Amino acid sequence: MLLEHAVQRIRAELYALSDASFPGLRTRHYRLLSMVPPGGERLSRMAATSGLTKQALAQALEPLQRGGYVEVVPDPTDGRARLVRLTERGRAVNETVRRHLADVEREWADRVGEERYAVARAVLADLVPRPAAAGTTVTVEE
């Protein structure tokens, strides 16, 4: 229950950010945008990492494409593969989210002290599962 409260706080922060700066984006969209590295990522690799099927991932990316946050283009190194790339707008979202969440973390560290917060982060890092292996299922939810 304790972690759920922290997750709810972060979710509320992201919703407020969406309403103020990026109308229509939700938690699942931020997650997908954060998965795209600066040079782009193959759709198949993103699907394997996220645990989604390629079809489910393509469907989840559609609103991001329509909103101008990502583009899906042929991979220049393999015309059969598709590459997901962030647009300038998508990069702006990622940077804004990073800054916003860093502010939340700074607030939490100020409340409990830097040392205690560092320990909490280290424990959470140990508990977070590693990226999903191909074939496992991860749900993209709000």
- Look up the pTM and report it: 0.76
Residue 56 pLDDT grade (very low, low, confident, very high; cuts 50, 70, 90):
very high
Least confident of 25-29, 36-40, 43-47: 25-29
Which CATH architecture does the domain made up of 2-127 adopt?
Orthogonal Bundle (1.10)
Average pLDDT of every residue of the chain: 86
Q: How do residues 87-107 score in pLDDT, each as one tens digit?
A: 999 999 999 999 988 999 999
Cβ(19)–Cβ(26) below 8 Å: no
DSSP one-letter string for 73-88: EEETTEEEEEEEEE-H
Tell the residue number behind the tokens 């706080």, with chain if given: 9
Strand order in the sheet with 41-42: 41-42, 78-86, 70-75
What b/e string do you get for 44-82 counting C-beta neighbours within 10 Å, with b at 16 or more?
eebbbbbbbeeeebbebbebbeebebbebeebeeeeeeb
* Residue 135 pLDDT greater than 80, yes or no: no
